Structure 1
Amino acid sequence: MRFPRVGQNIQIQSYKHDGSLHRVWESTTVLKGTAKTIIGANDQTVVSESDGRQWRTKEPAITYFSTKEWFNIICMIRKDGIHYYCNLGSPVTWDEEALKYIDYDLDIKVFPDMSYKLLDEDEYSLHKRRMNYPKKLDNILKNHVQELIDWIQERKGPFDKKFVDKWYKVYKRVRR
């Protein structure tokens, strides 16, 4: 599989388990693209929802996607610190059109003090029934919720402030 190149602006597309388009981020700048990890950044990017609504991100963000992990992480850089939004979803793929993954509803919101909250459990239960998530998938996602919580508690990867600082500096340099 090929990967997006550093400096390339790409689109990110999330889908639901049934194949329907869920959300599209119009432009993210690639900072790193390897067989395991794609790190990007965006600021003031347009996001389109499946119902036609559009909105614009409010602050710079570093994005972490994995071709192995069943989650992705958005590190939003705000005045009061780094806020994280973590999506439980399939490992990403890249097909020259966009970086793509399946969104599995569960999210974890992490605050600058590293406290966190699991979100959208009701939505997950509803879609699990409606879209017939297999038991194996349910187990994978539950295991990755715990893995993500472990990363948060250990300050691993994107949850280490140095990670965000490093990639934000790279983003500012690449953007010039």
Structure 2
Amino acid sequence: MSGYPVDGEIIQIHSYKHNGMIHRIWEKTLVLKGASTYIIGANDKTLVTEADGRTWVTREPAICFFHAKHWFNIIGMVRDDGVYYYCNLSSPFVWDEEALKYIDYDLDIKVFPDMTYILLDEDEYEWHRKEMNYPDVIDRILKNNVKKLISWIQERKGPFAPDFIDKWYEKFQSYRK
């Protein structure tokens, strides 16, 4: 038994809110690379269950990047017209044999195939920050990580590197054959 999921394993992803309540569950994600500091996964047409019990199914293949030290995760959605990224400001992930888990902190950055981006949900973040009493240190960490994420986008670092999604999507395809 390792401290993280192994390549080829199917796992669940559980997203929580700061108050400990479940936010969202992704039923099945294939681990493409499991390591102690990061996990790269992939899913396509996977069932997602919302906190209120509503469900939906993802529309396109996605490559997911989770890190144990950074306060964000990055989802690259493979579409016909290019890769769209959805970046969640979140706690670093933890793995506990049941699922990969993280706290979702509302702020999101959507990145388009041409690498332009928009910061989303600032109002929701401010509202939850007050409602759930996010400590000032968390607020500072998250705002610093927004800056770090933007620099990754601008520098084409990590999952934003030109061949990153292609490489992992190819590996995902090989598992599906």
**What range is the shorter-chain TM-score in?**
over 0.9
Between the aligned partners of 1:56 and 1:160, the Cα distance in structure 2 is 27
Tell me, what secondary structure is at the counterpart of 1:44?
coil
1:44-94: per-residue Cα shift (whole Å, max 9, x none)?
Answer: 001110011111111001000000100000000000000000000000000
Tell me, what secondary structure is at the counterpart of 2:125?
helix
Matched, 1:104 2:105: yes
TM-score by length of 1: 0.98
- Offset at residue 160 of structure 1 (A): 1.4
Matched, 1:54 2:55: yes
Matched with 1:175 is 176
Tell me, what secondary structure is at the counterpart of 1:18?
coil
Matched with 1:70 is 71
Matched, 1:149 2:155: no
Tell me, what secondary structure is at the counterpart of 1:75?
strand
Between the aligned partners of 2:168 and 2:143, the Cα distance in structure 1 is 29
Matched with 1:21 is 22
The number of equivalent residue pairs is: 176
Between the aligned partners of 2:22 and 2:162, the Cα distance in structure 1 is 32
Moved more, 155-164 or 67-76: 155-164
Matched with 1:40 is 41
Structure 2: gaps of 5 or more residues: none
Between the aligned partners of 1:171 and 1:32, the Cα distance in structure 2 is 10
The AA in structure 2 aligned to 1:88 is L
Matched with 1:91 is 92
The AA in structure 2 aligned to 1:78 is R
Structure 1: gaps of 5 or more residues: none
For the aligned residue pairs, the C-alpha RMSD in angstroms reads: 0.8
Matched with 1:9 is 10
Tell me, what secondary structure is at the counterpart of 1:124?
helix
Between the aligned partners of 2:128 and 2:6, the Cα distance in structure 1 is 35
Tell me, what secondary structure is at the counterpart of 1:100?
strand
Tell me, what secondary structure is at the counterpart of 2:141?
helix
The AA in structure 1 aligned to 2:152 is W
